[in-house]
Structures are given as C-alpha cells and as structure tokens.
Amino acid sequence: MNDDHRNDDLDNTVSEHDDLDDITEYIGKDESSHSLALARQTMPRRMYILPVNNRPFFPAQVQPVVVNQKPWHETLKRVSETDHHVLGLCYLDQADPDNPVPDSKDLEVMGCAARIHHAQSESGKLQFIAQGLQRFRIVQWLRRRPPFLVEVEYPEEPEEPKEELKAYTLAIISAIKELLRSNPLYGEEVKQYLSRFGPEDSSPLADFGASMTSAKGHELQDVLDTVPLLRRMEKVLLLMRKEQEVARLQAEINEEVNDKVQKHQREFFLREQLKVIQRELGIAKDDRTADAERFQERMAELSPPEHVQVRFQDELQKLQVLEQGSPEYGVTRNYLDWLTQVPWGKTSEDHFDLSEARRILDRDHDSLHDVKDRIVEFLAEGSFKGEVSGSILLLVGPPGVGKTSIGRSVADALGREFYRFSVGGMRDEAEIKGHRRTYIGAMPGKFVQALKDCSVSNPVIMLDEIDKIGTSYQGDPASALLETLDPEQNREFLDHYLDVRLDLSKILFICTANQLDTIPRPLLDRMDTIRLSGYIAEEKLQIAKHHLIPRLLKRAGLKKKQLSITDAAVKQIIEGYAREAGVRNLEKQLHKIIRKGIVKLLESPDQQVRVGVGDLAGYLGQPVFRKERSMKGVGVVTGLAWTAMGGASLSIEASRIHSSQRGFKLTGQLGDVMKESAEIAYSYISSNLKRFKADTAFFDKSFVHLHVPEGATPKDGPSAGVTMATALLSIARKQAPQQTVAMTGELTLTGQVLPVGGIREKVIAARRQKITTIILPDANRGDYEELPDYLKEGLVVHFAKQYSDVYQVCFSDPPGSRNNSVH
C-alpha cells in the first residue's frame, strides 16, 4: 500500500472529534527507519506539529530540542508511536511557546519536518534530537488543540541556472570557512552536515549556512519561507556577511583585551622583579619601611608636645609589625598620615601695622566706618599684648552686607592664612570633633582639616551661618562648638579621631550670622558681637562704583570704555530694583545689565554701550519697587521694624467698622508678640481717652479693625506698641496724625515707652523712605547717639518716655518744637 492510498484512508476517517488513539493509528506508516535518513525520502502528508520560539529549524540541521513536558508530552508520545517518527517544527514569534493559537500571525505557516531521535524526559523537560528533513507548508488544521495535527504540502524548488548556483555555492562555502576560522565551535556542525550532504547540494548548503548565523528569528524565518534557491542563497549570503562582520569585531575586541591583560601582567611581573632586585641591592625599601621613614621625616620638621610624640612612637611601632595586607595596617597608616600633617608648633608671624590694616579694610569695603573702627581696636589690643589669641568675633547683619569678606580682610591685615567653612544645616557633631577611628571612613573634624590645609596652627577660621546650625539624633554641633570657641577650654581640644589634645587657642575665630535669636545663649556668651547694618542709597552707590562694577567688568573681560553705567542709572537701580539692606541683589542686577551689554557688543563690536536711566527698562524690565506714596489719613501711622533682611517701614491702619457693638479685630499675619502689643495698645487708649481729649464712649460702641498691610508677610516683634496706640487714638479723635513721622517703641499698660533693638537698621529704613522725623524710646538715646553723623544728618528725632510724649508730637505740637527733640 503506497502513501497516497494510506493518506486517502486518513482523509476519510480523521475528524476534529476523533480520539487520539484512532488518529495515531492512521499516521502515515512509511518504510523509513529510525536511523539518520536523507531529506528526500517519502514524507507524510499529515503530521503533528510542535512550536519553537527561539529560532526556526532548518532542513539541514541536526541538533537537540528541549520543550516543557506538560503541554507536549502527548504530542511526542504520538509521534514516537508512528513508524516515520516525523514531527513538524514551526516558528512561534512570542515569548511563551506553550500556548500557541492556530492560524494566528505569530505561528508561522512554513515549517520544517524533522525526524525525532533519542527522546527522553528529565526534570519536567522533554529532550530529543531533531534531524531536519524538508520544508512544509500548513494547508489545513485537522486538530486545533494539543497535540496539533495538520495537513501539509512540500513545496518544490524551481529549476535555477547551474552556473549561478555554482557561484553562490562557492560564496557560501567561502563564508562558512571564514566563520570556522573565527569560531571553531562550528566545526562539529560542519562535520554532521558533511556526513549527510556533499558540497554540491546547494539547497541544504544554503539552509545550513543560515542556521550557522546568529540572526534574529524573523530574518531566519524569511530564509525558510523562500523556496526559490537563488533568492534564498542571496539572503543567506547577506546574513553570513553580517555574521562575519560581527565575528571580525569580536575578534578585534578580544585581541585588544588580551593585549591589555598581557601588558598589565608583564608590567606587574617586571615591577615585582624590580622590587626584589632593588631590595637585594639595598637601593629601595618595601612600602612599610618607606611609609615609616616618611612619617618620621615629617614629624622631625615639627615641634609636637610630648604626649603627641609618645602617641606617634607607639603608632609607628605598631605600623612596623603589622602585615601590609591587614585592615589594621591601613587604619594605622591613615592615622599617622593625619597626625604628621597637623602643624604642631608652626605659626605665622602676625602683622600689627594698624595703618596697613585700615588701608586693607578701606580697600575692600566702603562705609562701615564703625565696624572698621571696632576691628582696628581689636587689632590694636592684640598689638599691645603681642598676640591675637583667645578671641571669637561674631559679625551679625543682613545678607549681602559683607560679613564674609570682612573676615577675609581681617586675615589679610594680620598676614594669616584664611579658612572658611559653613556650619549652616550641620547636624552631626562629628563634623566638629571628628569620628572615632573604629568607624569605616573615619576622618578628623573640620578644625583639624583646617589646620592641615593652612599648614600653620594660628590661621583665621571663619564659621559661616552659625545661626543656622542644626541638631539631630547624631548629636548637637552647637554644643560641640562650646568647647571649641571657649578660650579657656580650646587649649586642650580633643578631636575624636586624633585622640590627642590639640591647642586651638592661637586661632582667631570669626563667625557670621543674620540674627542672634537662633544662636544658643551659652555659645553667644563666648563671642564678641559686631553688628553690620544695611547700607543707605549713597553707600550702595559708592560700593557699586568702587567694587561691584569693576569686579563684574573684569569677570566678563570688558574694559571700562566698552561698557559704562551712569551714576543716575545706578541710583535708579538701587531705588527701583534693589532696596534690600545688602548689595547682593544690586550686584545681580548690574550683572544682568553687563550680560545684555555683551550681547550688543558682539552684534556691533565697534560701538560703546552706555546705560542711562532711560535704558533700564530695556535691560531690567519695569521697576520692582515703585515710589511709595506715604499713606495718609485718620487711623494711618508709619512704624519702623527690624527684620533679618534689615530695617523696614511698616504702615499700620485702624478703622471703625460699625457702632452696633464693641469689638476689636486684628489682621496681617501678626505673631503672638504683636498681638499682645495690639491688645495692650487697645486697653491703654481705651482707658485714657479723656486724657487725650477723645470721646470716652468711643470704644464702648465701636467695632475696631486694626490691620498691618502686606498681609502675606508674617510679622512679629515687640516694637509696634506706640504705633498701634497712635493709630487707635487717631480714629478715636477723628484726627490724622502728623504724616512725616515714623515711630518705634513698645508700650506698657501704664503708658511707659520701653526700649527696642535695631535702632541703626530702623534709622536706615526711615532714610530710605525719605522720612525725616522719627520718634524713638528715650532709653534708646544712647544707641542713636552712637550712630555715625552721616546717618543722623537731616533727621529730627524725638525721644519719648511716656506715651504722652508721642501724643504731643503727633497731635498737639508740630514736629521739632519739643524740648526733648534732637536735630
């Protein structure tokens, strides 16, 4: 019985619902044996299929196939029960090959018929040797669930010109030889191929060549789908050329890596040999001996105290007996490295030329005359006793007033090294006192690092932003600074890493802060405070002309003749764009003008850029600050306040809302202290209306609203009492106070005017707002008298002991007529 007859019988009996045993019984039972057979033997028209997802299988291949046992066990069992043992392998373009969908686009129609050999099961996997026989194309699905059964056809290759086939065959053979040279692992596959086919078998040769490449699955499937031999060989040659290029690059990379490895190995062996030769000849020493001698040379140049010398000798002896590969050796070596880099006994000579010190301060800073005088006095004291030691200066002022640069100028005037670090946000006390040596990555504290960098034991060390120091579970750095900044304790400062006493008393410490409130009181007591207030417009103009503009031009590489800014323009920038106490924002605005001026110079190199008042809008936009109109009317009073950014003017408004009931309302984001001041002012004025010639029943039937404008800005402080009281008295008398007056002072329930702080900043704020008459507490008379004359010039100041003094200035006598006024 031939195959066609058997297949016809299968057509009549196989259906979708037949039992598997019945189907297996009718699988084509050809005469093929179980040994390796040639691909052109008679093939069955119906067969079971198995999806493979890594890459397609080719007719010329012989290689193992591994699949999961659970879904495909029945399929292989049925195939093994047939005589021909032929299984169809189809490429499935998805990650999971165990759940294919018949007729889906992921499961290819063209596959490879393969004979199964040596099937076996192990650890949930089925493994067998697949011998590729022939291409097939699925014609019809006979069973759509595992085990899948299909009807197939075997496409015939058309005739091709022999000369072209020969040329392509030789090209593929040459490519295979090239791949064999680059990757000898292909040799076993070539032997298997030659045992079944000859070099003249062009079709198996093309399929074998494709199977040797590492092309992607869809590229190999394209070769499997191509039946015409010449077109198929063209595609195979293209894939093999790509494979050759990849192999060539891989060989170059391997060669380069091998060369580097061999070079490093050669250098390593030569170095080791050189060390042995030098050691034998006494020319060189080992690393341990070299380290010990280097540390001894360093220490010989220093003058350490006796206890440091003893510790050094102990650690050095330990280093000499430790093995270089041990962790303890590295710890000891690092310790000795730090210990011998501390400048024990090395100091720089101080310069006590007061005229030179003043020249340096004047060179680096305009105005700040009182601050300069205070620093010169400090240097004079050091000159008199022959040293500047045991001193801690604290420079307090708004941002941008020159605190850090003054510290650097002090170091220049003394001729000392300068070291600065910021303690703002510092949360770990180990930053101050160092880590213990037992920790991995342990380091000394900042002060030991400063001494190492400066190479002298008497530098000027600046601690920036000391008011912003933090605390955490890792300790309190502010408490650690108590020992450091105490002249009586820092003579024997103990760093946890060095674990020896260190003398910090020769260091001049300069700290900076924006405010004193957040500095711990014990720490503040150890420091000598110098206040730096903000600058008035005239001072800012001089700073811009002498320092800011020249520095910005130099930084940009410009000459003065290329770009200039008029004095009037600088004044307008100060008034309209940079009213803060410092000059940092002023420098930013000037820098912005210079950047835009450079753009114009690049567009027209021959022109000169001159910036006047009329040009500012084009460079900086519209002014941020408009010319303020003083708020006038009943219930409106101008107060003076101190902030961390400097002094500021503050208008306070009071208004009677209705007369149906008594009430008092506060708005403006006021803090607890200002709320208490408002309540005291309300109580005092309510109880003294008759004395101040107002309606005694006014507040009994009035709902009063007190507001501090700029409600988005939080406000607090004890200096607004008299201002609030004056606003309330104004609405009670229905009389506006004098409009050119600004005031500050705290009020008590008995009418006493108490002193406040920040007098200098408040006076500067009044001058900035063109206010010429000021009311201050009488207890602050001394603070005002200490102000430089240029700040007091043109001002009329009234000093008040009782609120009645404020009342007489604002409501009775014209400004300047009181006996307790100062012109």
What's the rounded Cα separation, in Å, for the pair 339 and 342? 6
Whether 216 is catalytic: no
**H-assigned helices in 557-666:** 567-576, 584-603, 616-620
Q: Which residues of 541-577 are buried (b: 16+ CB within 10 A; e: fewer)?
A: bebbeebbbeebbeeeebeeebbbbeeebbbbbbbbb
Give the strand pairing for 392-396 and 528-531: parallel
Name 516's Cβ contacts closer than 8 Å, sequence gap at least 6: 396, 467, 524, 529
Burial class (CB in 10 A: 0-12, 13-18, 19+), 644: middle
What's the rounded Cα separation, in Å, for the pair 67 and 128? 9
Task: For helices 229-281 and 202-212, give the axis angle rounded to 10 degrees.
Answer: 40
**H-assigned helices in 470-563:** 477-484, 521-525, 537-543, 549-556
- Could you count the other beta carbons within 10 Å of the beta carbon of residue 695? 14
Task: For helices 584-603 and 549-556, give the axis angle rounded to 10 degrees.
Answer: 40
Q: Are 120 and 107 a contacting pair, CB within 8 Å?
A: no
Name 122's Cβ contacts closer than 8 Å, sequence gap at least 6: none
Whether 801 is catalytic: no
Q: Whose CA is closest to 722, among 751, 690, 762?
A: 751
Instruction: Work out the angle at residue 763's Cα, subtended by the Cα atoms of residues 758 and 769, and round it to the nearest 5 degrees.
Output: 130
Task: For helices 229-281 and 217-225, give the axis angle rounded to 10 degrees.
Answer: 150
Distances (CA, A) of 55 to 183, 586, 724: 20, 71, 88
* Active-site choice (32, 202, 762, 821): 762
Distances (CA, A) of 303 to 299, 343, 416, 499: 8, 8, 20, 18
Is 821 strand, coil or helix?
strand
* Active-site choice (32, 533, 677, 719): 719
If you write DSSP's letter for every residue of 694-739 in order, what string do you get? S-TTTGGG-EEEEE-S-TTS-B--S--HHHHHHHHHHHHHT-PPPT
Q: Are 601 and 556 a contacting pair, CB within 8 Å?
A: no
Give Rg (Cα) of the chain.
Answer: 47
Name 562's Cβ contacts closer than 8 Å, sequence gap at least 6: 601, 608, 609
What residues does 68 pair with on adjacent strands?
Answer: 125
Catalytic machinery residues: 719, 762
